[in-house]
Structure 1
Amino acid sequence: MRKTERYRVEGANSLWNIYKTVSFWKVMKCFIIIQIGRFMPFLRIKNWLYRSFLKMNIGEQTSLALMVMPDTMFPERITIGNNSVIGFNTTILAHEYLIDEYRLGDVIIGSNVMIGANSTILPGVEIGDGAIVSAATLVHKDVPAGCMAGGNPMQIIFTAEEMEKRKGLDNPKWQN
């Protein structure tokens, strides 16, 4: 189960109550900064924008590729470690609005993580250090450190131990 906080709503679906949960002006500010960032070719400037204006916690030398879409309502709930790569057109959500409730959850992406293009990361998910998430994956649960995961629904393809074994097989030490 993802780690999310659940908030019940009365009457119409939760999206009709959006501005009771988050300020319109905050959403507008976040949307504008994110749209600039999505097209920004300079990673240092993009990371500075997201850290300074959106309060995202982004590690050193982390790369958010072209068109990455951080959460427009609660970007401060996203943490990305050092030296990670978030692939083209990936969406990172820290909220979800449903019929009778809305949910918020922190997204924690570790260091040295590779997220493939066109992936979607749902709220309340943690991706451990050194993990690899293949392209077009719906990350709906935690990914342990060092694992390779992929698919829809997401599955663990290789555990950290299996990944280490494969690295050893791919790089045999030649003897003289």
Structure 2
Amino acid sequence: MRKTERYAVQEQNSLWQIYKTVPFLKVAKNFVFIQLGRYTPSLKLKNWLYKTFLRMTIGKHTALALMVMPDVMFPERIHIGKNSIVGYNTTILAHEYLIDEYRLGDVLIGDEVMIGANCTILPGVTIGDGAIVSAATLVHEDVPAGAFVGGNPMRVIYTKEQLEQKELEKRP
């Protein structure tokens, strides 16, 4: 189960009430720095922009590929460990606006995690250290450390122990 905080709304759907939940100027500023980061070819500059202006936590030697889309409303709720890779055009959400409520949740991505291209990571999930997320995966629940997951909806393809066993079998 994802770890999100739920907030009920009255009247129209929650997205129509967005600026009651997050200031317009914050969203505008975040949008500018995310767009700069999405297109910059420099990993160091991108990480600096995101850490400095969006208050994201990004570990040393972590690489966010071209076109990665961090949450524009609550990027400070995204935490990525060291030496991880987030693949091309992946979206990392820390919010979801629904009809009768909106939800917020931290996204915790561990150390040495590999996330393939075109993934969507939903709010409130944790991706454990050393996990591998296949391209085009919808990450809708926690990923155990060292696991290999993929698909839509996401499922565990190999656990850490199964991957270790496969490595042992390959050895002469």
TM-score, normalising length: structure 1 = 0.97
2:20 counterpart letter in structure 1: K
Say which one has the larger Rg.
1
Q: What is the total number of aligned residue pairs between the two structures?
A: 172
Aligned to 2:60: 60
Q: CA deviation at 1:166?
A: 1.2
Question: What one-letter code is carried by the residue in structure 1 that aligns with 2:110?
Answer: G
Residue 172 (structure 2) pairs with residue 165 (structure 1): no
Listed one character per residue, the Cα deviations across residues 58-88 of structure 1 (whole Å, up to 9, x for unaligned) are 0000000000000000000000000000000
C-alpha deviations, 1:139-162, integer Å up to 9, x for none?
000000000000000000000100
Q: Find the residue that maps to 1:168 and give its secondary structure.
A: helix
SS at 1:30's partner residue? helix
Partner of 1:9: 9
Structure 2: which 5+ runs fail to align? Answer: none
Match of 2:32 in 1: 32
CA distance in 2, matches of 1:167, 1:39: 37
Q: Which amino acid aligns with 1:113?
A: V
Inter-partner Cα distance in structure 2 for 1:153 and 1:169: 30
> What's the secondary structure of 1:156's corresponding residue?
strand
The 2-side partners of 1:134 and 1:111 are apart by: 17
Aligned to 2:143: 143
**Alignment RMSD, CA only?**
0.5
Task: Extract unaligned runs of 5+ from structure 1.
Answer: none
Question: What residue in structure 2 maps to residue 44 of structure 1?
Answer: 44
Residue in structure 2 matched with residue 120 of structure 1 by the alignment:
120
Query: What is the match of residue 70 of structure 1?
Result: 70
Taking structure 2 as the reference length, the TM-score comes to: 0.99
- Shift of residue 169 of structure 1? 2.2
Distance (Å, rounded) in 2 between the aligned partners of 1:34 and 1:10: 31
Shift >4 Å, 4+ stretches: none
SS of equivalent residue, structure 1 residue 103: strand
Structure 1 SS opposite 2:156: strand
Q: Deviations over 1:82-131 (max 9, x none)?
A: 00000000000000000000000000000000000000000000000000
Structure-1 residue corresponding to 2:95: 95
- Percent identical among aligned pairs is 69
| Equivalence for 1:107 | 107
Note if 1:22 corresponds to 2:22: yes
Letter matched to residue 120 of structure 1: T
What is the aligned partner in structure 1 of residue 85 from structure 2?
Answer: 85
CA distance in 2 between partners of 1:40 and 1:21 (Å): 30
